[in-house]
């Protein structure tokens, strides 16, 4: 027998059934709440509106909502796609990257006490030399060994030989003391104390070293000086001009029209020393790689050619012939 029921009445009856289900759930019942067909009249299948009204909120009825199991929770996991809980945690991590190399931070200024255990390097100077090489200051290896430009990576001795300043051979650092007697050459520094590099010196001690250098040149009166490192020439320029070198005011090699060590009040009279010519080359330290080997060789060759010309004009050889005994015999062997 078919019984026609209104939508509203059917919704109310469905709601009443939901309330009963809720009450039995609270009591912990596990049985199904299916209506026996023999005890209850047949009802038409619920419409969509009827099912929807089951979940409608009603202030006049019980506030407890029926227990509902969400479909998402019971949905089976597709094969090949495990749930998040079972995934390897490293799967979601970004790929490892190469650690960044730490840049070496420059130590900056170091006080004299930092290397007080090392002795200053003695000058290699005599009167009337052809050229005196003026470096910045002794490095740590040089100070430990006690000879000029002693670090194996320093290019001073190879360039001194290839330029023609010591044409017969490449000298060892241990022979620096014989430069004046064999080649009419000398060596000193603008700052005497040793450091790891020039950045550990202060600008004040660089400027103070200029006056000391000029006094030495006035005493020994060489024909020329070669500043080994632009920083040395910059200190000299600033000490005389009260400012740094501007763009276009510098080029490597001879500094034409400049005489180092000359006193202005002395003038150019006969018998007066008029200062020494100035030649500038880059630092020969192995830490300085801004200029290629060909550039350095060509620049040093310009100085070496001039040195050899002056030797011939002075009647000297390289190395000099050392005289022994009354018969004038001598030797020029460099040991």
Given a cut of 70, whether residue 266 has pLDDT beyond it is: no
Banded pLDDT at 273 (limits 50, 70, 90): confident
- What is the average per-residue pLDDT within 196-211? 94
Q: Is 296 part of any domain?
A: yes
Q: Is 193 part of any domain?
A: yes
Q: Is 305 part of any domain?
A: yes
Q: Domain limits at 189?
A: 131-263+274-314
Q: Residue length, the chain?
A: 335
Q: Is 151 part of any domain?
A: yes
- What is the average per-residue pLDDT within 21-29? 41
73-77, 169-173, 283-287: which has the minimum mean pLDDT?
73-77
Q: Is 29 part of any domain?
A: no
> Quick check: pTM over 0.95?
no
Cα–Cα dist 191/321, whole Å: 33
Cα–Cα dist 84/88, whole Å: 9
Banded pLDDT at 157 (limits 50, 70, 90): very high
Banded pLDDT at 22 (limits 50, 70, 90): very low
Given a cut of 80, whether residue 60 has pLDDT beyond it is: no
Cα–Cα dist 169/334, whole Å: 9
Output 162 or 67, whichever has higher pLDDT.
Answer: 162
Looking at the 3D structure of the chain, how many domains does it have? 1
Q: Is 30 part of any domain?
A: no
> pLDDT, tens digit, for every residue of 301-310?
999 999 999 9
Given a cut of 80, whether residue 196 has pLDDT beyond it is: yes
102-106, 212-216, 317-321: which has the minimum mean pLDDT?
102-106
Q: Is 178 part of any domain?
A: yes
Q: Helix H segments across the chain?
A: 7-26, 48-53, 71-74, 140-145, 156-162, 179-183, 203-220, 230-241, 293-314
Q: Of all residues in the chain, what percent carry a pLDDT higher than 90?
A: 56
Question: What rounded mean pLDDT belongs to the chain?
Answer: 78
Directed axis angle between helix 230-241 and helix 203-220, to 10°? 90
Q: Which helix (H) or strand (E) holds 236?
A: helix 230-241
Q: Is 155 part of any domain?
A: yes
pLDDT at site 3: 44
* CATH code of the domain containing 175: 3.40.470.10
Contact yes or no for 33/21 (Cβ under 8 A): yes
pLDDT at site 321: 75
Nearest to residue 187, comparing CAs of 202, 195, 177? 177
pLDDT at site 185: 98
> pLDDT, tens digit, for every residue of 86-126?
555 545 555 556 555 555 455 699 999 999 999 989 999 99
Given a cut of 50, whether residue 70 has pLDDT beyond it is: no
- What is the average per-residue pLDDT within 70-77? 48
Nearest to residue 176, comparing CAs of 146, 221, 214? 146
pLDDT at site 288: 83
Cα–Cα dist 335/175, whole Å: 9
> pLDDT, tens digit, for every residue of 26-49?
433 343 433 444 444 455 566 656
- What is the average per-residue pLDDT within 225-236? 97
pLDDT at site 287: 82
Given a cut of 60, whether residue 13 has pLDDT beyond it is: no
Beta bridge partners of 331: 322
């Amino acid at each position: 027998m078919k019984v026609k029921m209104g939508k509203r009445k059917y919704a109310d009856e469905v709601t009443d059934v939901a309330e009963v289900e809720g009450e039995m759930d609270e009591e912990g019942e596990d049985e199904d709440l299916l209506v026996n067909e023999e005890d209850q009249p047949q009802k038409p299948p619920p419409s969509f509106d009827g099912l929807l009204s089951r979940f409608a909120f009603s202030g006049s009825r019980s506030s407890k909502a029926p227990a509902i199991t969400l479909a998402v929770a019971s949905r089976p996991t597709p094969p090949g796609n495990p749930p998040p809980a079972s995934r390897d945690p490293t799967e979601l991590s970004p790929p490892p990257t190469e650690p960044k190399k730490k840049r070496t931070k420059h130590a900056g200024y170091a006080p004299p006490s930092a290397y007080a255990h090392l002795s200053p390097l003695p000058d290699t100077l005599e009167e009337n030399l052809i050229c005196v090489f003026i470096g910045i200051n002794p490095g740590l290896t040089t100070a430990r060994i006690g000879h000029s430009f002693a670090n194996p990576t320093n290019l001073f001795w190879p360039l001194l030989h290839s330029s023609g300043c010591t044409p017969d051979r490449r000298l060892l650092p241990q022979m620096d003391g014989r430069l004046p007697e064999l080649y009419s050459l000398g060596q000193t520094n603008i700052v005497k104390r040793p450091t790891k590099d020039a950045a550990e010196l202060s600008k004040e001690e660089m400027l103070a070293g200029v006056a000391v250098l000029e006094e030495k040149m006035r005493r020994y009166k060489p024909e020329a000086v070669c500043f080994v490192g632009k920083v040395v020439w910059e200190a000299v320029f600033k000490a005389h001009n009260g400012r740094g070198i501007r763009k276009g005011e510098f080029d490597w090699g001879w500094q034409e029209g400049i005489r180092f060590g000359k006193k202005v009040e002395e003038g150019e009279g006969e018998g007066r020393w008029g200062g020494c010519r100035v030649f500038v080359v880059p630092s020969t330290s192995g830490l300085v790689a801004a200029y290629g080997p060909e550039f350095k060789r060509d620049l040093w060759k310009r100085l070496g050619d001039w040195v050899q010309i002056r030797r011939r004009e002075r009647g000297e050889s390289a190395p000099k012939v050392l005289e022994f005994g009354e018969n004038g015999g001598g030797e020029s062997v460099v040991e």
